[in-house]
Amino acid sequence: MRSRLLLGTAVALVTCLYAMPAWADAYRFGERTLRKGMSGSDVRTLQRYLSRVGQRTAVDGAFGRDTRRRVIGWERSAERRENGVVSRSDALALRSEARSASLEEATPVDGEIPGSEARLTSDGYALAPADAPEEVKAVIRAGNRIAKKPYKYGGGHSA
């Protein structure tokens, strides 16, 4: 009986030791400098933040050539050193910018704004004026629905 308990404990310990790398790379965004070739949950967070700030990036958790290009694009727009590497200070700046962009996204794109002139949000959506005819509001809502969809040549937007 005692040998089974010891064997079970040993198996559990070995399993934990071999499973450690799976959870050991679960860094929080900003804990480590990110560069091409890295992967993990913090890279996925980086990719989501880049997309929020206008650098459309696939969220796959792998810091590859495309992610590096998007980082350089963000660095250029944020007037930061363009090296394709996300340092801790870069991570703080990007997180702040992404959170600000998220607040702007919270603006109801199907909503109305007071007055008689339409307005554009910073992420490219239109806000309909309250005084506009219903037909104009419908056109603006339809445009917002396809505003971020890719155009397919000969086939319109993939809605």
Task: Give 45-48's long-range contacts (Cβ < 8 A, gap of 24+).
Answer: 46/71, 46/86, 46/91, 46/94, 48/98
Mean pLDDT in residue range 78-88: 95
* Domains in the chain, number: 2
Residue 6 within a domain = no
Domain boundary among 87, 105, 123: 105
Looking at the structure, tell me whether residues 70 and 126 fall in a common domain: no
Looking at the structure, tell me whether residues 73 and 139 fall in a common domain: no
Count of CB atoms situated within 10 Å of the CB of 130: 12
User: Residue 127 — very low, low, confident or very high, per pLDDT cuts 50/70/90?
Assistant: confident
Mean pLDDT in residue range 9-26: 49
pLDDT digits over 129-146, tens only?
A: 888 888 888 888 888 888
| Residue 119: domain span | 112-153
Looking at the structure, tell me whether residues 72 and 129 fall in a common domain: no
Residue 10 within a domain = no
pLDDT at 1 over 70: no
Residue 84 within a domain = yes
